[in-house]
Amino acid sequence: MKIIPFIIIVCTVLFACNNSENTTAKTDASQQDALKLFTAKMQQQLKEFPDSPGLRLQYAFALDSLKMYKEALDQMDSIVEKDSLNYGMLFAQGQIAEDAGDNLLALKSYSKAAGVYESPDVLLALANLYAEKKDERAILYCSRVKALGLGRDADANCAFIVGVYYARIHKSDEAIKYFDECITDHYTYMEAYIEKGLIYFDRQQYDKALNIFQLASTVNNLYADAYYYQARCYEMMSKKDSAVLFFKQSLQIDPTMDEAKTRLKQLGAE
């Protein structure tokens, strides 16, 4: 497996701060201030070293963390223009484009990255985007990754993405099968619990959905979405007090969860 350059590893760590699997890891006010200070220092350093791609990439990720997506993508455009065959830079551009909601650019960037080096990461990134687009190429890319025999974590990612594809095309039984496969391979894969629970929620089988969201909160008791969706089930079951309790619990874990604030307001329990 090709070794990714050190600067990409460093910047991937920075990016991970903005993309933790745990939804409680939100950037608070002090972190925002620290990021702003960091970007200001980056700007000064870039004036001294304008040709440093590593420095510019760190700056782009900092801007991304501040949700300054246009500015972050402008930095990536500058990097990629000078080094259009750098796998790591193209992959990073795709990640930031996804954050910005520009899935077309993300697909384009990931496809170019895959043309340079077909890493499992970029194949899964492509598969994930195609799954959301209801494009069966998601299955193809996942099959290619699974054939590499990389282990249970990679298999879990593949199963999850295929499950998402089937969920989006409304083949819910197939989706559930793959979400279960994902959880078997990686029992703390929280998104799989949520996606599976939402299938039952959409079927109006609120008891079954609630059981799954409760299990998710047992597996990870700091996963805000598990409490939010329990609250949604209670809301649909006309159990207002329980709904309010769990909406508030989700906000205790993640104060930035605007959906919970909106639901509480609608329930008259702000």
Question: What's the pLDDT at 23?
Answer: 41
Question: 223 or 58: which carries more pLDDT confidence?
Answer: 223
Report if residue 220 sits inside a domain.
no
Domain span including residue 106:
1-117
Question: What's the pLDDT at 89?
Answer: 96
Question: What's the pLDDT at 28?
Answer: 60
Report if residue 36 sits inside a domain.
yes
pLDDT category, 22, cuts 50, 70, 90?
A: very low
- CATH value at residue 25: 1.25.40.10
Q: Report the C-alpha gap between 230 and 107 in whole angstroms.
A: 34
Report if residue 5 sits inside a domain.
yes
Report if residue 39 sits inside a domain.
yes
Report if residue 180 sits inside a domain.
no
Question: What's the pLDDT at 16?
Answer: 40
For the segment 60-75, the average pLDDT, to the nearest whole number, is 92
Instruction: Using DSSP, state whether 202 is helix, strand or coil.
Output: helix
Q: Report the C-alpha gap between 94 and 112 in whole angstroms.
A: 10
pTM for the whole thing?
0.82
Question: What's the pLDDT at 135?
Answer: 98
**Residues 244/264, Cβ–Cβ less than 8 Å:** yes
Q: Is 237 exposed, middle or buried (0-12, 13-18, 19+ CB in 10 A)?
A: middle
The domain total for the chain is: 1
Q: Report the C-alpha gap between 186 and 157 in whole angstroms.
A: 9
Report if residue 191 sits inside a domain.
no
Write out pLDDT tens, residues 170-219.
999 999 999 999 999 999 999 999 999 999 999 999 999 999 999 999 99
The angle that helices 152-168 and 172-185 make with each other, rounded to 10 degrees, is 160
Share of the chain above pLDDT 70, in %: 89
pLDDT category, 30, cuts 50, 70, 90?
A: confident
Question: What's the pLDDT at 46?
Answer: 81
Residue type, 62: A
Q: Report the C-alpha gap between 138 and 118 in whole angstroms.
A: 15
Write out pLDDT tens, residues 90-105.
999 999 999 999 999 9
- pLDDT for 65 beyond 60: yes
Write out pLDDT tens, residues 205-258.
999 999 999 999 999 999 999 999 999 999 999 999 999 999 999 999 999 999
- pLDDT for 114 beyond 50: yes
Report if residue 231 sits inside a domain.
no
Write out pLDDT tens, residues 32-56.
777 778 787 877 888 888 888 888 8
Q: Report the C-alpha gap between 226 and 191 in whole angstroms.
A: 9
Write out pLDDT tens, residues 117-167.
999 999 999 999 999 999 999 999 999 999 999 999 999 999 999 999 999
Report if residue 112 sits inside a domain.
yes
The length of the chain in residues reads: 270
